[in-house]
Structure 1
Amino acid sequence: MQERDDPETVGRRVQQLRTARGLTQRQLAEPAYTPAYISTLEAGRVRASDEALRHIAGRLGVAFEELAIGRPAHLATDLRLRLTEAQRTLATGAAEEAAAQYTALYAEAETHGLAHEQATALLGLGECALDTGELTEARQYFERAEDHMAGEPLPVRVPAVRGRAVAHYLAGELRYAVYLLESTLDELNRGGLHDPDALLLLYASVIGPYMDMGAQARAAQAAEFALALAPQVADPALVARMHRSVARTLLAEGRVAEADASLAKAVELYRQLQIRTELANCHWMRGYVYAQDGELERAEAELRQALTMLSATRAALYSSQVAVELADVLHRRGKSQEAAELLHDVLGDLSSERGAVHSAGAHRLLGIIAEDARETEAAEEHYVRALSLLERAGAAGDLADLCRLLGDLLRRTGRVEAALDAYRTGLGHRTAPGTTTLGPAPAQPPL
């Protein structure tokens, strides 16, 4: 016997539908049943068999499901189609509009007890919140999605875990983000759950935290695994995201041409998909590649393009992060005043809980600009604030460089002991980046 509501609820539903259609109990019963049986069923005194309910549903012109559990026919399919529409809305960068769609769809799925569709809507709401920089809300949505999928296999739950990890990463909690991603990778690989989409999503997501923590070797390995998995993955958006993340590690290894080629593939995939926000992220990473390679004019053009696109989609947190990198390029091109104005504008959108690494980057750059202008006290203040943010985030690679800057400033102003302390701190982070915060590497996938 299929799932259904209690006899009283089913009986009331049959009576309401029969009355609405102007049928008598006899007309509903014939030819297989008696009016007395319909009367007893409507009163909730008998639990109808599946066969009887199918007969009644046919006479009433409704689906069996609608009688048994009150759910209109094909509701789940219709909800899934509308969830895809919301995903498309989000992909074009209209995060607020998509969030409104997901909210309505979640309420509808909840009304009808559709757990899978509720989880999908919550994942969408989490992605919307990431785009708009509402990191606490994003994490909560992903946690609720995980709760709805508690009984599902781990690969099904991976998007929620990854979303939670990204929220922690963007909030500056690098160690915890890496822990979430690595422990999930370990569980998938050790348990033989070699789902290519799930593995690629996790490996692409862990590259950023690895790089910010100074664990370049692990980032490079994750990139290699991601590239090896890409041919097995059907989702072009996922492959494009992977190419964007991999470009960063290729660049760290000095493989600039390969990094640019990886980004070119991502751009083409996103252009095909018309995913505006992610395409903006490609311009962002391209600008980063050009900046590291000394092509500052091209870097500025790419980063300005990314900033314009992200600002148009109101992706506030990502916009602020791009602005910091653009300011660095502007400063290196001799446009320090414009860079400083840009940094002061975005610092209001960043904090230790929201974009800590880029907030530290903004203070570091403001310190350099202040030093160039011989404003020593202001420079020191910015360096110290950046140091505090990076220590909380555990961004070892950036910490070492910042300690050198602070040490040089302190030495120039005659504070030799304080300068030595700063240098020692920096050397501690440079000696073995990542080893103080990362445990054994996760098990490897069978490639």
Structure 2
Amino acid sequence: MDPADIGRRVLRLRTERGLTQRQVAEPAYTAAYVSTLESGKVRPSEAALRHLAGRLGVDYGELLTGRPARLATDLRLRLTDARRALATGAPEDAAALFRTLHEEAVAHGLAEEQATALQGLGDCLLESGELTDARDCFAAVEGLLADQPLPRRVPAIRGRATAHLLTGELRYSCYLLESTLDELNAAGLHDPDALLLLYTASIAPYMDMGAHARAAHAAELALALAPSVSDPALVAHMHRGVARTLIAEGRTAEADTSLAKAQELYRHLHIRTELAHCHWMRGYVSAQDGDLERAESELRTARDMLASKRAALFTGQVEVELADVLRRRGKAEEAEALLRPLLTSGEATGALGAERGAVHAGGAHRLLGLIAEERGDTEGAEEHYCAALSLLERSSAAGDVADLCRLLGDLLRRTGRVEAAMDAYRTGLGHRAAPGTTTLGPAPATPPM
């Protein structure tokens, strides 16, 4: 509360209304007091400010801060509209709204609204695949909320961890989530929403790293927390995450049921990207069950929904899954035509690589290697397998690395390079010996339920 700023506001408002200092001051104060206040030489009490606000016909908060009375409320309503635009439309359109609202919040010094706008912008950038900028947004949110309780910062931490996951930095994604869980539990901050968000977010990097037991434990904790959470979007996300652990355990019917629950919640909430993710995962479940026709249908639905929202990175990732199903259905040429544009260099729409969807980029190279091998092009197959291995080893995707080493080893053995094949097998065995334990520390503490 700067006395000079308040004085200038009182002077401006009094002049605009054509009032004298005496008219503003009476009956509780003197004209001399108002003169001293307008010159910034005195810090007014709350009682004085409320009196002056009443005489000047403005809200007390507006006189104190210079902000219109309904500014913060209006900004929050527009932030809700921007979030709705992200749920139903293209991420870049919603990003433009969040940027405008952030600028307004900065201009008026509204830190909470700045943080909300940046959180929304980060989510838009995640969806469009601009992962570095997304990380920067989430880090800025954490800075703005540094003096807030840790649960308030959890959505930003989860966003940053997700950006690292999509980049292929699985180990660091786990570190961010686990260290936050430990900090929450150590401080006794057992906020159900925050804990559910973190445990659900940790399932994907655990699974990609081969730490299946830890993923299953996180899923169990998430399920136990769900009854304490009222946000349906959080519950839906939990069901989607838990489904992945059920798939890994071969419990595909239960996984499909879990995804159906998530799908219904997302449909009710009109969150199209997450609804597309449910179709994506149901396609994967069908593929695991051998129902390739249904798998192709679900994956095409997911791909079309994501493409219509211009969610380029997720669209590319679904196309890798779809290509796998197409190859298994004997449509190798169509699968190859789908995959090759995804591995173009530069910033092409949907392009995948070491810094953008590394795990799926490795999957694309693996599929192209299989297609090449099936048509007798062993040299091309080896080239793709080696490219995939480089991407997946850098990401610490243990299970995928082991599978790839088996494929590469088999190829090398068939072409007479037995020693090279043995090296490939050893590499794969090294990654599968103790999934996840060589890259992760102790599991986070379990919160009291």
Q: TM-score range by the shorter chain?
A: over 0.9
Letter in 1 for 2:51: H
Give the match for residue 20 of structure 1: 16
Which 10-residue stretch deviates more, 155-164 or 113-122?
113-122
Structure 2 stretches lacking a partner, 5+ long = 345-350
Tell me, yes or no, if the aligned pair for 1:240 and 1:265 is still in contact at 8 Å.
yes
Which 10-residue stretch deviates more, 305-314 or 214-223?
214-223
Give the match for residue 223 of structure 1: 219
1:210 aligns with 2:206: yes
Letter in 2 for 1:131: E
Of 305, 319, 336, which residue of structure 2 is paired with 1:309? 305
Letter in 1 for 2:235: V
1:382 aligns with 2:384: yes
What's the CA shift for 1:43? 2.2
Tell me, yes or no, if the aligned pair for 1:327 and 1:339 is still in contact at 8 Å.
yes
Residues 316-369 of structure 1, C-alpha deviations (whole Å, 9 max, x = no match): 111111000000000000010000010012223111011000000000000000
1:321 aligns with 2:317: yes
User: How many percent of aligned residue pairs carry the same amino acid?
Assistant: 73
**How far apart in 2 are the matches of 1:156 and 1:71?**
25
Give the match for residue 184 of structure 1: 180
Task: State the secondary structure of the residue aligned to 1:80.
Answer: helix
Matches within 5 A, 1:139-158: 139-158=135-154
**How far apart in 2 are the matches of 1:335 and 1:383?**
20
**How far apart in 2 are the matches of 1:78 and 1:380?**
59
Give the match for residue 274 of structure 1: 270
Residues 158-184 of structure 1, C-alpha deviations (whole Å, 9 max, x = no match): 111111110000000000001111111
Letter in 1 for 2:168: G
Q: Alpha carbons of 1:188 and 1:47: their partners in 2 closer, same or farther (altered >3 Å)?
A: closer
What's the CA shift for 1:86? 1.3
Give the match for residue 356 of structure 1: 358
Give the match for residue 366 of structure 1: 368
Task: State the secondary structure of the residue aligned to 2:148.
Answer: coil
What's the CA shift for 1:49? 2.2
Task: State the secondary structure of the residue aligned to 1:156.
Answer: helix
Letter in 1 for 2:357: G
Give the match for residue 81 of structure 1: 77
TM-score between both structures, scaled by the size of structure 2? 0.97
Residues 83-135 of structure 1, C-alpha deviations (whole Å, 9 max, x = no match): 11111111114211211111111112112222221111111111111000000
1:118 aligns with 2:114: yes
Which 10-residue stretch deviates more, 93-102 or 316-325?
93-102
**How far apart in 1 are the matches of 2:92 and 2:165?**
22
Give the match for residue 425 of structure 2: 423
Give the match for residue 233 of structure 2: 237
Of 422, 433, 436, which residue of structure 2 is paired with 1:434? 436
Tell me, yes or no, if the aligned pair for 1:158 and 1:198 is still in contact at 8 Å.
yes
Letter in 1 for 2:264: E
Residues 1-26 of structure 1, C-alpha deviations (whole Å, 9 max, x = no match): xxx22x22212111111111122223
Give the match for residue 404 of structure 1: 406
Which 10-residue stretch deviates more, 155-164 or 396-405?
155-164
Letter in 2 for 1:336: A
1:43 aligns with 2:39: yes
**How far apart in 2 are the matches of 1:44 and 1:436?**
64
Which 10-residue stretch deviates more, 375-384 or 55-64?
55-64
Aligned-residue Cα RMSD (Å) equals: 1.1
Task: State the secondary structure of the residue aligned to 2:265.
Answer: helix
**How far apart in 2 are the matches of 1:192 and 1:357?**
36
Give the match for residue 285 of structure 1: 281
Task: State the secondary structure of the residue aligned to 2:67.
Answer: coil
**How far apart in 2 are the matches of 1:181 and 1:8?**
45
Residues 246-270 of structure 1, C-alpha deviations (whole Å, 9 max, x = no match): 1111011011111000000000000
What's the CA shift for 1:186? 1.6
Of 127, 133, 136, which residue of structure 1 is paired with 2:123? 127
Tell me, yes or no, if the aligned pair for 1:93 and 1:275 is still in contact at 8 Å.
no
What's the CA shift for 1:37? 2.5
What's the CA shift for 1:187? 1.7
Task: State the secondary structure of the residue aligned to 2:171.
Answer: helix
Task: State the secondary structure of the residue aligned to 1:84.
Answer: helix
What's the CA shift for 1:374? 0.5
Letter in 2 for 1:397: G
